[in-house]
Amino acid sequence: MSDQLHLAAEEQAMFDGEQGIAVRRAMEIVVALGKIYGAKRLVPIHSVQVAGVSYKNLGEAGLDFLREWAAQGARVRVPTTLNPAGIDVVQWHTLGFSATFAQQQQAVIAAYTAMGIEPVCTCTPYLIGNRPAWGDHLAWAESSAVILANSVLGARTNREGGPSALAAAICGRTAAYGLHLDENRIATHRVEVHSRPVSLTDWGALGYLVGRQVRNGIPYILLADPVGTTGVAPTLDQLKTLGAAMAASGAVALYHIDGVTPEAQAGNVAPPKGAPQILIDDLTTGYAALNGDAEQIDLVSIGCPHASLDELTEIARLVEGKRLCAALWVTTARETRRRAAQAVATIEAAGGRVVADTCMVVAPVDQLGFKSMATNSAKMAFYAPAHSGLSVRFGPLEQCIEAALTGKMRKA
């Protein structure tokens, strides 16, 4: 083995193929990454979240790759879940997905299931039971989940790619580099925010602006009013929205908020003297960059990252007793959908759909006939035009629901 990267005896045996070809292939990936990034050892991991699940992105070549690895005996050693797939696996036929695409997507999920992975398709595993603890090492792939696990929960994961996360799951280990190490978790930029974001869209616009400037750095954010005038710290939904936007417009995998996030509270991750400083005194440019021109709205998409129970409850409150004119899709984890049965019933009685397992970035939106979308998610507004060919409006939840009720969204 390399003079740099030390493998324990069992790891060396895995690398040498003593546990079969599937494990050897996985170890080759983990070790290759470790060597590239100068790791000195591997670390055991608590869980894995695999991206690269939608057949829209994987195609037949990706499916063949998974089937071959499964047939070679690949099996995961730690709890492993999946990122959103291209369909709602239960409701796909009533949502307009083609039977052909649904079969292809089911084949991908079956290949993952054959490896022992739970067929749970969500970008918010931390909302449905897979909530890492402080200091846990992980190999997660979805950028919005990675940044939340690192920043809000104090767990440790790099932004894994699909194959590297899967390889880590098969080995039960990842290489100790990047955000697994204390010294790489210190902030690189100081970001002063002169007003406290209020709505989720404010948090998304802020995340968009920070990510665009920090790129793959680690921002240390000083909010004007970190615990709010009422003494309330930012909610998990606000922090998940902030991080998702930052990870989309930049490649941020960890942020700290002074007085709020756990490592900032512990007090040893502030940026060094002379670190670049960013001042944000106005979110208008963030809103403007994410907002398009469409006034006619076909689809309102809420739930990026996947909606929480609180978000579903709030949407239900806004649509209760009303009749929607445009399509409303609220995307969420299947387990969250199950727990929110009452809110789901209210939303669906108004004509909306609560859609599990997928989202409007990884679903084959071209099959569904939508041309324009309104969303309250900065991440969705950032990705949907390029990934789904949609004309996108970005605005607060109340404005999006108004668009669902009228089919129109007024220009700001």
Query: What residue ranges bind ligand F3S (CB under 6 A)?
Result: 83-84, 123, 142, 144, 244, 304-306, 331, 359, 361-362, 379-380, 383
Shortest CB 206 distance to ligand F3S, Å: 17
Nearest CB to ligand F3S, comparing residues 25 and 56: 56
Rounded Cα–Cα distance for residues 117 and 136 (Å): 20
Phi, psi of 15 (to 5 degrees): -65, -35
Q: Residue 47: beta bridge partners?
A: 138
Residue 313, both tokens:
């409850």
Helices 378-388/200-214 angle, 10° precision: 70
Pairing of strands 353-356, 327-332: parallel
Provide the 3-class DSSP secondary structure of residue 254: coil
Position 152, amino acid: V
Look-up: residue for tokens 């869209």? Answer: 201
Shortest CB 391 distance to ligand F3S, Å: 17
Shortest CB 83 distance to ligand F3S, Å: 6
Shortest CB 326 distance to ligand F3S, Å: 19
Query: Is the separation of the CB atoms in 344 and 354 below 8 Å?
Result: yes
Task: Give the closest residue to 262 by CA, choosing from 123, 379, 174, 136.
Answer: 136
Shortest CB 246 distance to ligand F3S, Å: 12
Nearest CB to ligand F3S, comparing residues 178 and 305: 305
Shortest CB 303 distance to ligand F3S, Å: 6
Rounded Cα–Cα distance for residues 49 and 151 (Å): 17
Rounded Cα–Cα distance for residues 228 and 208 (Å): 21
Nearest CB to ligand F3S, comparing residues 83 and 308: 83
Nearest CB to ligand F3S, comparing residues 70 and 123: 123
Report DSSP letters for 108-170, one per residue.
Answer: HHHHHHHTT----B-S-GGGTT--PPTT-BEEE--HHHHHHHHHTS--B-----HHHHHHHHH
Position 103, amino acid: Q
Shortest CB 247 distance to ligand F3S, Å: 9
Nearest CB to ligand F3S, comparing residues 83 and 164: 83
Nearest CB to ligand F3S, comparing residues 118 and 295: 118
Position 335, amino acid: E
Shortest CB 45 distance to ligand F3S, Å: 21
Nearest CB to ligand F3S, comparing residues 188 and 201: 201
Nearest CB to ligand F3S, comparing residues 104 and 144: 144
Distances (CA, A) of 184 to 14, 180, 258, 269: 28, 8, 18, 9
